[in-house]
Amino acid sequence: MTDLGELETFLGLQIKRDRSKGLITVGQQNYIDRILHRHGMQDARLSLTPLALNLRLSGQTGNEASVSPDQDVSLELYQFAVGSLMCAMLGIRPDLAYAVGLVTQFNYCPNLKVEHWIAVKRIFRYLVRTKMFVLEYGTSNQSGGYLDANWGSENDRKSVGGYLILLNGDAIS
């Protein structure tokens, strides 16, 4: 066994420890910079939110859907971009969960429209603005959780729910 020193990176996460304050900070700025550059969005204008207000994406989902012949975006490019966003969301970005979940619904054989790609690009523009966001775990005893659902307000009348679990003052799930 070899001691490599204090942990600084793990699976793309940047970890900083301040023992005097009892804080551990986890960030993903390097990964976010890489995916923004890979998709040509590093100099995009900033967005305050990951989704437009009252955004409704339409299109079929499932194996029966067909890709429209006049689409501007390839299915592979769309899936690659959404997968990159999903990795960021699962790392330390719970603020992306609803937006990524929405665009993920059109990942397999979607009837892709320009509106789907615009929604994905808006999430990238939000990441340009918030790439320095981190989770900071401290010594506080603030723990608990939140749960919410929209109870069938989507076009297909299906409910969408979400939850957030906190430990020592920040999100863990």
4 in a domain, yes or no? no
Residue 14 pairs in a beta bridge with: 9, 27
What is the pLDDT at residue 122? Answer: 94
Residues in the chain, pLDDT under 50:
61-69
The predicted-structure confidence for 122-141, as pLDDT tens digits, reads as follows: 999 999 999 999 988 887 77
DSSP 95-151: GGHHHHHHHHTT-SS----HHHHHHHHHHHHHHHHHTT-EEEE-S----EEEEEE--
Q: For residues 148 and 24, give the distance between their C-alpha atoms in angstroms, rounded to a whole number.
A: 28
For 43, the 3-state DSSP assignment is coil
Q: How many helices (H) and strands (E) does the chain have?
A: 4, 7
What is the pLDDT at residue 63? Answer: 42
What is the pLDDT at residue 85? Answer: 94
The predicted-structure confidence for 59-73, as pLDDT tens digits, reads as follows: 654 443 444 445 557
pTM for the structure as a whole: 0.80
2 in a domain, yes or no? no
What is the pLDDT at residue 158? Answer: 72
1 in a domain, yes or no? no
**Domain with 20 in it:** 9-171
What is the pLDDT at residue 65? Answer: 42
What is the pLDDT at residue 27? Answer: 93
What is the pLDDT at residue 154? Answer: 63
**What's the number of domains the chain is made of?**
1
What is the pLDDT at residue 130? Answer: 92
What is the pLDDT at residue 33? Answer: 94
